[in-house]
Amino acid sequence: MEIPYTVENRPDTGIYNAKVGIWLFLASEVMLFGGLFSAYVLLRVGAPEGHWPHGWLDVRFGTINTILLALSAITTLLAWAACKVREFGKFKFFHACTILLALTFLGIKSYEYHDKWIHYEIQLKDGTFADGHLEEQNDKEVVLHGRIVKDEKDLYDLRAQKDIQLGEVKIDLANIVKMQNYGPWHNTFTAIYFTLTGLHALHILGGTLVIFYLWGPGSKMYKTDPERFTNRIEVSGLFWHFVDLVWIFLFPVLYLT
């Protein structure tokens, strides 16, 4: 039994099945990320004055990642175009680029996660706060590469403070009230940062796996049914462009504001 319009367009709707499917799926994805962005807006608007962090994320990494995804959008398009004009070698090259760009993106993202993971805020008994990357921890003391501030509020807006002096800070364990790294549990910003970028990274990972399959074992179909294969590249490309688009929103929302 054959399902009609898997490859060719249905005359009256002018579209093939999988393309309808992916657009519908993307509509639901818009609602998914729309819900999360709404949550972001509501939480940020509801945050007390001066408590929303600024400048916690490295804009340089964010910019590089934005450029990587933008380039991968171009290579995805070129890979599809190469399929369309039946130039298999070019297709292989462009999608190899897509996969490498995506993996580099994930690598940089993991580095950023790691950077937050080893970043600690320590509340001290005298009411001050130590803050910085964990260098060493033994049963007597904790060594941070960071600084000590009088008020926790001074840790929120890093963009307003131009010349932050970082150095080695040694803290006696007995002096510590509370020690917590910048994980999702740290505050609302890290929570939404890890959730949004984590879900996005999962989408990147899923998209990369699909593209890798179509680039590797799945490309056998090119020899037998090139039109259907080209459709697959198009449909996976549509998903990939959506994932890029989500990042275009995430970058300013999390890094720049």
Partner 1 sequence: MQPNVEQFPPHRAETDAHAAHGHGHDDHSHGHDEHHHQPNFWTQYIFSTDHKVIGIQYGLVSLSFMLFGLFLMVMMRWQIAHPGVPVPVIGSLLAAVLGQPAAHGIISPELYNSFGAMHGTIMVFLGVVPLAFAAFGNYVVPLMIGAPDMTFPRINMASFHAFFLGGLVMLVSFFIPGGAAQAGWTSYSPLASTIPTDGQAFWLVGMVLLITSSLLGAVNFIATIIQLRAPGMTWMRLPFFVWAQFVTAFLLLLAFPPLEAAGLLQLMDNVAHTSFFLPTGLAVSGPVGQASGGGSPLLWQHLFWFLGHPEVYVLILPAMGIVAEVIANNTRKPIWGYKSLVYAALVVGFLSFIVWAHHMYLTGMGQGIATFFQATTMIISIPSVVILTCMFLSLWGGSIRINTPMLFALGFLPMFGIGGLTGLPLGLAAADLYLHDTYYVIAHFHYVVAPGTIFALFAGVYFWFPKMTGRRMSEFWGRVHFWCSFVFMNLVFMPMFAQGIKGMLRRMSDGGVNYSAARVPGVIDTLPGTVMEMNTWILWAAIGLGLAQIPFIINLFWSISHGEKVNSDNPWHATTLDWQTPTPPPHGNFAHEPHVVRGPYDYSVPGAANDFCPQNEPGVQAPRPAH
Binding site for partner 1 (CB under 8 A): 1-5, 7, 10, 13, 15-18, 20-21, 24-25, 27-29, 31-36, 38-39, 42-43, 46-48, 51, 183-188, 191-192, 194-195, 199, 221, 224-225, 228
Compare residues 68 and 121 and give the one whose CB is closer to partner 1: 121
User: Shortest Cβ distance from residue 24 to partner 1 (Å)?
Assistant: 5
Name the residue nearer to partner 1 (CB basis): 91 or 182: 182
CB 172 within 8 A of CB 192: no
Q: In the chain, where do the E strands start and end?
A: 119-124, 129-137, 141-149, 167-172, 176-181
The residue behind tokens 């020690």 is 179
CB closer to partner 1, 10 vs 170:
10
Q: Least distance in Å: CB of 9 to partner 1?
A: 10
User: Least CB distance from residue 129 to partner 1, whole Å?
Assistant: 14
For partner 1, the closer CB: 75 or 187: 187
Distance CA 58, CA 115 (A): 10
Q: How far apart are CA 246 and CA 207, in angstroms?
A: 13
- The residues that bridge with 123 in the sheet, in sequence order, are 129, 178
CB of 252 to partner 1, least distance (A): 20
Q: Is the Cβ of residue 2 or residue 163 nearer to partner 1 in the bound state?
A: 2
Cβ-based nearer residue to partner 1, 165 or 224: 224
Are 196 and 36 contacting, i.e. CB atoms less than 8 angstroms apart?
Answer: yes
Rounded alpha-carbon distances, angstroms, from residue 63 to 41, 57, 103, 149, 161: 22, 11, 16, 29, 22
We find the least distance from the C-beta atom of residue 185 to partner 1, in angstroms, to be 4
| Longest Cα–Cα distance in the chain | 76
CB contact at 8 A, 214 and 228: no
Structure tokens at 160: 């307003």
Minimum distance from residue 68 beta carbon to partner 1 (Å): 25
DSSP label at residue 139: S
Could you identify the residue written with the tokens 């970028």? 197
